Structure 1
């Protein structure tokens, strides 16, 4: 008899609710119970990381260890299984089973599972490891029929949202800075030198230490397009540059380090990060998180010069 799955951690539940996922939260216990019964799973305590999904270690009917993940059905989660299958375990976690109708996957367990963010090694060493992993993910050429959204289409939508929200919220941000971000969101995807499957959320909490490979990526929010889209959260969250006495120099050096490994221009990576941070600020404003929005704008200002703004 399967144990009753524990509820979603409160912090994740609050985040999902802030984006309109209350109905999904209400149906989650029944959904989890059905999945565990169908797949013969004994669930453990849910992981506390992430923002839009319930995930927990499970024991399968044959005694193996795995992870059950059930996502709040939203736009960014739709292509996760397709991207993981595209990478076929080469640098990313493997999909063991999927129930697309339930936005649910059974995934291989990642042991020991230490997050790159928490790993006891120097920041630059962690950046190098992650950049090599990301470069490997980008090295697998997209095939027809993946069904993933294109970065160029999504960025056009984001640019329009930034313009609209600037007029709606009037947050007092430098209009030149905002206009530059809008221009980059529209222009960068169209000037890409190659097209890859991007991870979409390559932050240091989504890179885990493993036994099968030294590091594995989890939780993609994939699209196809410019590889330069991906490094922003990695560079800005591994020992954040803002914590240092000269954050602009630290950020410039680290974007250069990652750029050399990826084979991309450092100023292009910085431009992508600048544009993404400005867009993120307006997304945060839209859900009432003004302090977090101001922090995102401060990071964008830090990168403006390197981004050519």
Structure 2
């Protein structure tokens, strides 16, 4: 197996000790050693990954190691990445609690914002945030045409307003969650971006929806309110923006699950949507 993996990697990179870490519908993640013995990661993209995930390298290159792992090399469908570490923010949450994990996230997020504040030019290839919301708008239109004033219709209107009034438009990770934030030699770093373009409040608001298996946290209104307060205090922006983006993202996720006819996950996502909506109503 190791020999087969090694043969699939660019010989000029002089990698060794390849070990398959995981395989997804878009890529194989292979742990390797560099010439100097340091650990690194190869993300080997399949056809789906080349179409949908290669642009993630643009996000990592734009940040150049500020708050996220570095791209070391890239050739064809192989992306050689800095090893971010084995400890996730979910591990930290499980050991030290949700508030501590949230505060670590805010530190990471502020580091990511430094790239935008440096006025570094943005390369083409990022997906506009409005395109990300296509499934929600499609579902809302279907419900509206059938005469159903569903939660999808309600939240799609809010999402449309948010997307028409975006601030500080910049490259976004697009899928920040507790298992995409790792601790290693350079501290806490983000991995595995989707590479969107839009309002950074959307990235931060993803945290309301996560960890994805912790329904007890995702639907806990005290937790939602506390996280929104932290975001307002640390990021100096009205908590309502984060709550509305969080509600919109949860409803977007529900629309994806509805398309896949995964109705159990759709309903779990809608439970998050409704919990955040209740907090917003309490602020009105």
Q: TM-score range by the shorter chain?
A: 0.7 to 0.9
Calculate the aligned-residue CA RMSD, in Å.
3.1
Alpha-carbon deviations, 1:58-85, whole Å to 9, x = none?
A: 0234533210012342654142111101
Aligned to 1:96: 72
Give the corresponding residue for 1:127: 102
Q: Indicate whether 1:299 and 2:272 are aligned.
A: yes
Other-structure match for 1:27: none
Match of 1:140 among 104, 112, 115: 115
Q: How many residues were matched structurally?
A: 275
**Segment of structure 1 superposing worse, 48-57 or 183-192:** 48-57
Hey, what's the Cα distance between the residues in 1 that align with 2:67 and 2:207?
16
SS at match of 1:235: helix
CA contact (8 A) 2:143 2:153 kept: no
Structure 1 211/165 Cα, relative in aligned 2: closer, same or farther at 3 Å?
Answer: farther
* CA separation of 1:257 and 1:144: change in aligned 2, threshold 3 A: closer
User: Quick one: distance in 1 between partners of 2:251 and 2:3?
Assistant: 44
Q: Structure 1 unaligned runs (5+)?
A: 6-31
- Kindly tell me: are residues 60 and 240 of structure 1, through their superposed partners in 2, closer, same or farther at Cα, counting changes over 3 Å? closer
Residues 181 and 49 of structure 1: is their aligned pair in 2 closer, same or farther, counting only changes over 3 Å?
Answer: farther
Tell me the residue number matched to 2:29. Answer: 55
CA–CA separation in structure 2 for the residues paired with 1:284 and 1:165: 15
2:209 to 188, 213, 236: 236
Summarize the Cα distance change of 1:185–1:219 in structure 2 as closer, same or farther, 3 Å threshold: same
Aligned to 1:161: 138
8 A contact 1:208–1:218 mirrored in 2: yes
SS in 2 for 1:70: strand
* 1:207 to 2:181 alignment: yes
- Determine if the alignment matches structure 1 residue 84 to structure 2 residue 60: yes
Tell me which of 242, 256, 263 is aligned to 1:269: 242
Q: Higher strand share goes to which structure?
A: 2
Q: 1:95, 1:200 → 2: CA distance?
A: 18
Q: CA deviation at 1:180?
A: 1.9
How far residue 260 of structure 1 moved from its aligned partner, in angstroms, is 2.0
